[in-house]
Amino acid sequence: MSKLSIRDLDVQGREVLMRVDFNVPLKDGAITDDTRIRAALPSIEHLLKGGAKLVLCSHLGRPKGQANPEFSLAPAAARLGELIGAEVKLAPDCIGDEAAALRAGLGAGQALLLENTRFHSEETDNDAAFAKQLAGSAEIFVNDAFGTAHRAHASTEGVTHHVTTSAMGFLLARELEYLVGKLESPERPFLVIMGGAKVSGKIDVISNLMDKADAFLIGGAMAYTFRKAQGYAVGDSLVEDDKLDLALEILKLAEEKGTRFLLPPDSLVTNEFKEGAETRDSGVFGEGGAIEDGWQGIDIGPAGIEAFVEEVGKARTIVWNGPMGVFEIPTFAKGTEAVARAVAASDAVTIVGGGDSVTAVNQLGLDDQMTFISTGGGASLELLEGKELPGVAALSEA
Ligand code: AMP
């Protein structure tokens, strides 16, 4: 990895600005899940132990460029203080005189949190003057907010132009290690499991991994665009009709490259989109299986589960992005659950690449059985697409 790491920095007595992701869920002003704050602790504690004067910044929610107490980071400052066992003051604004004075008053090994960066529209506009003010007197910047690294905002990209050194924090480095590093020369067979609603959102991931992967398993509604393109009856299943040609191209490309591209052999179908609805098996496509009008494919079927679980068992590296069906409704969650359990039981390197598959894994309590679970949705997809993230590209070279 070519970017400078937090490990390489000498921060003793120096002011360090670190972008963290404290975008925590709140209810009535209380944090309902502090996972994101705890996830930033390794970098925070490393810098404090190293004697940094640590200035933290983050966004919270979508206050749309206006100061709004509903989106204040005050609960996050309090929670961080409890976790590190020291007071963490909150600057009432992320820029301006008061923030500057609080920053100047920091001692080595002390931390300050700046108020929500998105109280200013200049944050998402990546305004240069705002970024310069945010950098303030810090010469060192650390980015540990993976979830926003795919956005060129003032606190992720702009700020790097106003400091001498920019490095990645531990959280960011770990995301890059698994979503990029481990996939450069993966242990084989390398299996990619894709699902979710749309082919269009995942097409670039498929293209990027086509050369690297040995096999793909395609679940979710995505599969019906492929099945329709192959000429099967898919009833009322969610299909992207403008992507049928693309689906055929992907199937052809996989064949040319010798990459196995597995669609679920059958589907669970329903005529009602609700818990407890009647369900049937479509039967195996190519052996008389079909989905009638008025019915839609909602999950992979029993033969699909068996085939996919068997594939998972053979893999040595697995990347999984996207549920196999509408897993939010228990009646339609069996396929996603079976795949999640198989991936968890596998002794392969297992990487859950963000979004809804992470939700499914957490719901099933399987999170600690995965090698790595990405904390980013959009950012992890962009890495799997082979893109460089602006918030990473802007960091100093090692
Ligand atoms: P994505 O954000 O593209 O990963 O899509 C995730 C969403 O796809 C989840 O909310 C699922 O409920 C939905 N989904 C998965 N399979 C199907 C299906 N067969 N029909 C409709 N929606 C689906």
In a domain, 225, yes or no: yes
Residues 163 and 290 occupy one common structural domain: no
CB environment 337-357: b (16+ within 10 A), e (fewer): bbbbbbbbebebbbbbbbbbb
Q: What is the CATH number of the domain that holds 368?
A: 3.40.50.1260
Percentage of the chain exceeding pLDDT 90? 96
Q: How many CA atoms lie within 13 A of 82 on its CB side?
A: 9
Residue 294 lies in a domain: yes
355 is catalytic: yes
Cβ atoms < 10 Å from Cβ of 187: 11
Q: Is 325 in the pocket of ligand 1 (CB under 6 A)?
A: yes
- Segment 305-340, tens digit of pLDDT: 999 999 999 999 999 999 999 999 999 999 999 999
**Can you tell me which atom of ligand 1 is nearest the CA of 224?**
19
3-state secondary structure of 180: helix
Mutation choice for ligand 1 from 199, 308, 334, 356, CB with most ligand atoms inside 8 A: 356
Residue 198 CA to ligand 1 centre (angstroms): 7
Between the alpha carbon of residue 182 and those of residues 114, 192, 319, 356, 384, the distances in Å are: 35, 13, 10, 22, 11
- Residue 92 tokens, joined: 């009432």
36 is catalytic: yes
Domain endpoint, select from 139, 173, 207: 173
Catalytic hit among 132, 198, 280, 316: 198
Give pLDDT, residue 172.
97
Does position 53 have pLDDT exceeding 80, yes or no? yes
Please check whether residues 332 and 210 belong to one and the same domain.
yes
Per residue, the 3-state secondary structure of 74-125, as one string, reads: HHHHHHHHHHHCCCCEEECCCCCHHHHHHHHCCCCCCEEEECCHHHCHHHHH
Residue 395 within any structural domain of the chain: no
Ligand 1 probe mutation, 198, 200, 238, 272, most atoms within 8 A of CB: 238
Q: Is residue 350 part of a domain?
A: yes
Residue having the nearest C-alpha atom to atom 20 of ligand 1: 221
Distance 200 CA to ligand 1 centre (A): 13
Q: What is the mean pLDDT of residues 139-145?
A: 98
pLDDT number for residue 1: 55
| 276 pLDDT higher than 60 | yes
The pLDDT score that the predictor gives to residue 40 is 96
Please work out whether the CB of residue 201 comes within 6 Å of at least one atom of ligand 1.
yes
Please check whether residue 392 lies inside any domain of the structure.
Answer: no
pLDDT digits (tens, 9 = 90+) for 1-34: 589 999 999 999 999 999 999 999 999 999 999 9
* Ligand 1 pocket check for 377: Cβ under 6 Å: no
CA distance 342 to 278: 26
Ligand 1 lined by 196 (C-beta under 6 Å):
yes
Average pLDDT over residues 139-161: 97
- Provide the token pair at 333: 């969650």
Residues 6 or more apart whose CB falls under 8 angstroms from that of 82 comprise: none
The answer to whether residues 194 and 134 belong to one domain is no
Per-residue confidence (pLDDT) for residue 136, from 0 to 100: 98
Task: Give the residue, by CA position, lying nearest to ligand 1 atom 2.
Answer: 196
Same domain for 298 and 365, yes or no, is yes
CA distance 111 to 64: 27
> Last residue of some domain: 173, 208, 241?
173
Q: Are residues 219 and 328 in the same domain?
A: yes
**Contact between 364 and 125 (Cβ < 8 Å):** no
Residue 198 is among the residues annotated as catalytic for this protein? yes
The domain boundary, picked from 173, 207, 230, lies at 173
User: Is residue 38 domain-resident?
Assistant: yes
Give residue 355's pLDDT band: very low, low, confident or very high (50, 70, 90): confident
Q: Taking all residues of the chain, what is their mean pLDDT, rounded to a whole number?
A: 97
Atom of ligand 1 nearest to the CA of 357: 4
Taking each helix axis from N to C terminus, what angle separates 244-257 and 222-229, rounded to the nearest 10 degrees?
80
154 part of a folded domain:
yes
Give the residue-averaged pLDDT of 176-185. Answer: 96
Question: How many domains is the chain built from?
Answer: 2
Instruction: Clarify whether residues 266 and 378 are in a common domain.
Output: yes
Same domain, 127 and 206: no
**Best of 266, 300, 326 to mutate for ligand 1, by most ligand atoms within 8 A of CB?**
326
Nearest CA, atom 1, ligand 1: 196
Question: What residues make up the domain containing 35?
Answer: 6-173
* Inside any domain, residue 48: yes
326 lines ligand 1 (CB under 6 A): yes
Looking at the fold, whether 78 and 151 belong to one and the same domain comes out as yes
- Strands, sheet with 215-218, edge to edge from the N-terminal-most edge strand: 260-262, 215-218, 190-194, 317-321, 349-352, 372-373
The per-residue pLDDT for 354 is 77
Tell me what the mean pLDDT of segment 363-377 comes to.
95
Q: List CB contacts of 242: < 8 A, sequence separation 6 or more.
A: none
| Domain identity same for 132 and 249 | no
Taking residues 114-125, what's their average pLDDT? 98
- Please tell me whether residues 231 and 166 are part of one structural domain: no
Ligand 1 lined by 300 (C-beta under 6 Å): no
Do residue 355 and residue 282 come from a single domain?
Answer: yes
Q: Is the CB of 220 under 6 A from ligand 1?
A: yes
Question: Ligand 1, closest atom to CA 321?
Answer: 4
In a shared domain, residues 159 and 210: no
Question: Tell me, what's the pLDDT at 162?
Answer: 98
